[in-house]
Amino acid sequence: MNKRISMLFTIAAVVVMGATLFGSTYTQTQIAGQSLDASKLDAGVLEQIHQMGGLELVMPSAFAETDCKVLSSSGRKVHDFKLTGESVDLPMLGHSADSPKMYKAMTFSGQIPGPTVRATQGDVIKMTLTIPAGEATAHGNDMHASQMSSANFGAVQPGTSKAYCYIAESAGTFKYHCSGVDLAAMDQHVLSGMYGIAIVDPVNGYKKLMVEKTKVDAGKVSMDRKFYDANALEFQLQYNQLYLTGGGFYDQKAMFQHHNSHTVVNGLPFAYVPNGVHNLLLKGDMGENIFVAQPWNGLDLKQYQSQLLYVENNQHVRLFVENHGNEPVFFHIVGEILDRVTQGNRVQSAATETWLLGGSQGMIVDLVFDEPGTYAAVNHDYAAIYTGAATVFVAGDPFGLNPRLVEAGVIAAPVPSYAYALGNPSDAVPPAGMNTIKHPAVNVHGMYTDKVASEKQAKGAIPLWDVVPTLPPI
């Protein structure tokens, strides 16, 4: 038997074994064609497998039920996930109200990243993509949680809508993205903003978190494991790059050379660093910067001014992280250990310093911020940090603001994090799942069109640019 035939035989054997072992998982109609018997395989069958594309046999799309009618009445919860494909101009770094600097963005529903859909393993997601009449180009959609090829879905033309349904069978964080116009220009559409995530919670919920510490008893050091309930304060952090010309157009040549102009987290470079509000709170002066890089600094920048992420000490925090970009993300939090890293529904690491995400790879990081302080989550690649991958978490009350905030009447009593006074940025807060601790407040922040920003505000997110100047001086 030559090497090629031998490999095909192996594939065929795996298929037969798989069908035998896991046959009960699939209904008869989902396994197409004749059943295979390894002992009776002959060259003709092997040739048939070859003709079918070999590995094609085990492609999940061969088994997936995608009929929305069938899935809607299957007894599973259905998530109606509606997206619109819209090209808009959005601000780029260096933008100010006085001298607008915009780039040609492409969005799902007027925001970058697109809305997050959150389901529980086994739920059905019905994704409907609408392209408004007048939109310059067709768009597509590829949800990695679906185990379906976007080629089946195809392009949705301006003025039309199209939907597909799937069962979210695997737990984890999954990318979705525009698939271009039947895959053409996909790079431009994705790198201009057409991406987002699906969070699929495990059907039995998340596990409690173990954090390993040590203790000393009578001069002897021993383990002191601390356990935290599965419920956590949750954030989403989505990494990508922008490849822009000075005029704000997509630069494919720069992309091929891996010369990005910006690294973005949730659509903005330096999205989560201090701004004028924080200068005011800490220094009493809007103009006195407290951080090395504050490029989105003015109250006039509204939803685009950078914001900080606030957590409590001794609180279980869960991060949904996705790398949408062309460069690796070496995810690291300066001053912290990643207490647990999960991919899919499998723990990959515990007590690790940095975790690597390749392109189109996601993870869930569970951790506890032990001490009051500021912690920078970075892509530990200096080119990425200096082009935008710096995200500052503030844990507890490291600046001793509580007494001043109480005195000024901003809060009634000391609070365990500034989120109670200022809220957490709306674009970093995912929809709630079964083990979610509700954020005490949310502020309007994100690479949003003004329309999306107003919708967030109407739903209760705080416009800090309006509110902070009205606060009594502290």
- Those residues whose C-beta lies under 8 Å from the C-beta of residue 137, and which sit 6 or more positions away, are 87, 158, 181, 185
Residue 193 φ/ψ, nearest 5 degrees: 130, -5
- Nearer to Cu ion by C-beta: 178 or 429? 178
Interatomic CA distance for residues 34 and 375, integer angstroms: 58
Least separation in angstroms between CB 179 and Cu ion: 7
Stretch that binds Cu ion, among 32-40, 171-179, 221-229, 342-350 (CB under 5 A): 171-179
Identity at 460, one-letter amino acid code: G
Quote the Cα angle for 348-234-126, to 5°: 85
Q: Is 309 among the residues that bind Cu ion (CB under 5 A)?
A: no
User: What mask of x and - would describe binding to Cu ion in positions 126 to 145, judged by CB under 5 A?
Assistant: -------------x------
Q: Is 189 among the residues that bind Cu ion (CB under 5 A)?
A: yes
Interatomic CA distance for residues 178 and 122, integer angstroms: 24
Nearest to 154 by CA among 165, 169, 138: 138
Beta-bridge mates of residue 362: 322
What does DSSP assign to residue 27? -
Q: Is 194 among the residues that bind Cu ion (CB under 5 A)?
A: yes
Strand order of the β-sheet with 329-333 is 309-311, 390-395, 373-379, 329-333, 354-357
Least separation in angstroms between CB 180 and Cu ion: 6
- Nearer to Cu ion by C-beta: 59 or 136? 136
Residues 422-451 that bind Cu ion (CB under 5 A): none
- Nearer to Cu ion by C-beta: 178 or 442? 178
Stretch that binds Cu ion, among 153-161, 162-170, 175-183, 383-391 (CB under 5 A): 175-183
Stretch that binds Cu ion, among 41-49, 190-198, 304-312, 321-329 (CB under 5 A): 190-198
Which of 178, 211, 277, 329 is the binder for Cu ion (CB under 5 A)?
A: 178
Q: Is 177 among the residues that bind Cu ion (CB under 5 A)?
A: no
Stretch that binds Cu ion, among 17-25, 159-167, 182-190, 318-326 (CB under 5 A): 182-190
Q: Is 36 among the residues that bind Cu ion (CB under 5 A)?
A: no
Least separation in angstroms between CB 141 and Cu ion: 8
- Nearer to Cu ion by C-beta: 144 or 189? 189
Q: Applying CB under 5 A, what is the total number of residues that bind Cu ion?
A: 4
CA 140 to chain centroid, in Å, comes to 19
Q: Which DSSP string do the residues of 35-103 spell out, in sequence order?
A: PP-GGG--HHHHHHHHHTTGGGGG-GGGT----HHHHHTSSS-EEEEEEEEEEEEEE-TT--SSS--EE
Quote the Cα angle for 374-378-380, to 5°: 130
Least separation in angstroms between CB 255 and Cu ion: 16
- For Cu ion, the binding residues (CB under 5 A) are 139, 178, 189, 194
